[in-house]
A = this chain, B = another copy of it.
Amino acid sequence: MMESIITKVTVSDVRFPTSLEQHGSDAMHTDPDYSVAYVVIDTDSGSLKGFGLTFTVGRGTEIVVCAVKALSALVIGKTLEEIVSDFRGFYRLLTNDGQMRWIGPEKGVIQLAAAAILNAIWDMWARAEGKPLWKLLVDMDPRQLIRCIDFTYITDALTEQEALDILEKANKGKQEREDQMLKEGYPAYTTSCAWLGYSDEQLTQLCSAALGEGWTRFKVKVGADLEDDIRRCRLIRKMIGPENTLMIDANQRWDVNEAISWVSSLAEFRPLWIEEPTSPDDILGHAAISKALAPLGIGVATGEQCHNRVMFKQFLQASALQFVQIDSCRVGSVNENLAIMLMAAKFKVPVCPHAGGVGLCELVQHLILFDYISVSASLDNRMCEYVDHLHEHFQSPTVIRNACYIPPKDPGFSCEMLESSVQKHQFPHGEVWRHVLGQKHSPII
């Protein structure tokens, strides 16, 4: 099955009109239409397929689709065996094409497109092995894992040998941790209660329901108006009580000094972290913010828009974050996230993945399960984001029990969508968009 030849890469522009109800709204993305560039890879065997995606928030998804098409030429004609037997080489082929790297390199649209394709390849590999992706990774020989990683530009922070040592050290207790995960699941936190566009009434109602369901960790969007933030944080902290955990997220709204003073004003509500206080590119800025907030007991979290391992390397070297928020689509899929998780382990910084959107929870649960079982071996200060919508469009949606991600059992990377959902939400000609765009005065375009 591994020797089936890849014959076709299909990519679709799939969008959900979430802006109509302000789901996902934050200080910088006020009207997101959660979307994906959705990739299906076909082989000549017929039975072996791969499904992958990258997440976007509406307009511009067609540009990512265009980039996936451009990269497809590098994939078609190869076999899965060829690819995974030199996955590092294939990764470089995709991310370092002598002409296309100019429009990155390894950042922005071209990196999102590479992620969508690589996610589909990893999905295909896991299906070929009849395992969920996390289990494929957990069972893989450490030397083979290392050969999936492009160490270019990070050897000053992590060598291949150091990476191997981390994986081999974590061999101890691996089976126990896998059993524990299968029984209890991986701890999650919820962002569903407090999007910026939600009213206080919505927030109260959602928070109360979440407490009832057993949630203990809550994230609130901040950054548009300080008085609003104080009121909302007070409301949430009062509802969840002093023992539960609160995080705040500014989605890059501030300059460096503004971030420090604004967050200091929210310190009384004891947030565990401030997420994305400023530009995702500003390593030194995050370092300054981290240093200023440390005495207040507030950490800095970032990563959902951190575009590659070279940036994460520096965030770690500069002590610019205290929580590494990997994303399953922003960087180069599993390959690059392996590098990032291993660097985080070396620098002893916890990984707390970014999720939500469309399919991000489905994807990233595999990575964080692997991180716990095979890399970090710790749950201290660790948890994975969860947002409760759009899961109904997936073949194998995430399962949450007692506010924990229950490890998926179906083979693959969990991002195969329902064919009917893909059809209905195709932009702009699917049924849903014909309806939305047909309405006059639509807020969408």
Cβ of B103 and Cβ of A63 under 8 Å apart? yes
Min Cβ gap A223→B in Å is 13
A200 at the A/B interface (Cβ < 8 Å)?
A: no
**Contacts A109-B110, A111-B108 known; A103 to B56 CB distance under 8 Å?**
yes
Min Cβ gap A362→B in Å is 19
Cβ of B283 and Cβ of A100 under 8 Å apart? no
Min Cβ gap A108→B in Å is 2
Q: Please report which residues of chain A, range 27-72, place their CB below 8 angstroms from some CB of chain B when the two chains form the complex.
A: 28-33, 56-60, 62-64, 66-67, 70
A288 at the A/B interface (Cβ < 8 Å)?
A: yes
Residues of B within 8 A of A154 (CB): 255
Min Cβ gap A110→B in Å is 6
Residues of B within 8 A of A56 (CB): 99, 102-103
Residues of B within 8 A of A104 (CB): 108
Cβ of A57 and Cβ of B99 under 8 Å apart? yes
The CA-CA distance from A28 to B59 in the complex, in Å, is 32
Interface size on A, residues (CB 8 A): 61
Cβ of B67 and Cβ of A99 under 8 Å apart? no
- CB < 8 Å neighbour of A66 from B66, B111, B288: B66
Residues of B within 8 A of A103 (CB): 56, 60, 63-64, 108-109, 112
Give chain A's interface secondary structure class. loop
Min Cβ gap A217→B in Å is 25
Cβ of A107 and Cβ of B307 under 8 Å apart? yes
A256 at the A/B interface (Cβ < 8 Å)?
A: yes
Cβ of B256 and Cβ of A281 under 8 Å apart? no
Cβ of A101 and Cβ of B67 under 8 Å apart? no
A418 at the A/B interface (Cβ < 8 Å)?
A: no
Residues of B within 8 A of A110 (CB): 60, 63, 108-109
Residues of B within 8 A of A282 (CB): 153, 310, 313-314
Min Cβ gap A125→B in Å is 26
A442 at the A/B interface (Cβ < 8 Å)?
A: no
The 10 closest A-B pairs by CB, nearest first: A108-B108, A58-B99, A109-B109, A59-B99, A60-B100, A156-B256, A153-B279, A66-B66, A57-B102, A281-B310
Residues of B within 8 A of A430 (CB): none
The CA-CA distance from A163 to B156 in the complex, in Å, is 36
- CB < 8 Å neighbour of A285 from B98, B105, B153: B153
A155 at the A/B interface (Cβ < 8 Å)?
A: yes
Residues of B within 8 A of A105 (CB): 252, 279-280, 305
Cβ of B100 and Cβ of A281 under 8 Å apart? no
- CB < 8 Å neighbour of A62 from B66, B155, B314, B317: B66
Residues of B within 8 A of A108 (CB): 103-104, 107-111, 307
Q: CB-CB contacts of A79-116 with B at 8 A, as 1s and 0s?
A: 00000000000000000111111111111111110000
Cβ of B256 and Cβ of A98 under 8 Å apart? no
A216 at the A/B interface (Cβ < 8 Å)?
A: no
Residues of B within 8 A of A58 (CB): 99
A140 at the A/B interface (Cβ < 8 Å)?
A: no
Q: Residue among A100, A104, A278, A281 with the most chain B CB within 10 A?
A: A281
A206 at the A/B interface (Cβ < 8 Å)?
A: no
**Contacts A63-B67, A156-B285, A282-B310 known; A99 to B28 CB distance under 8 Å?**
no
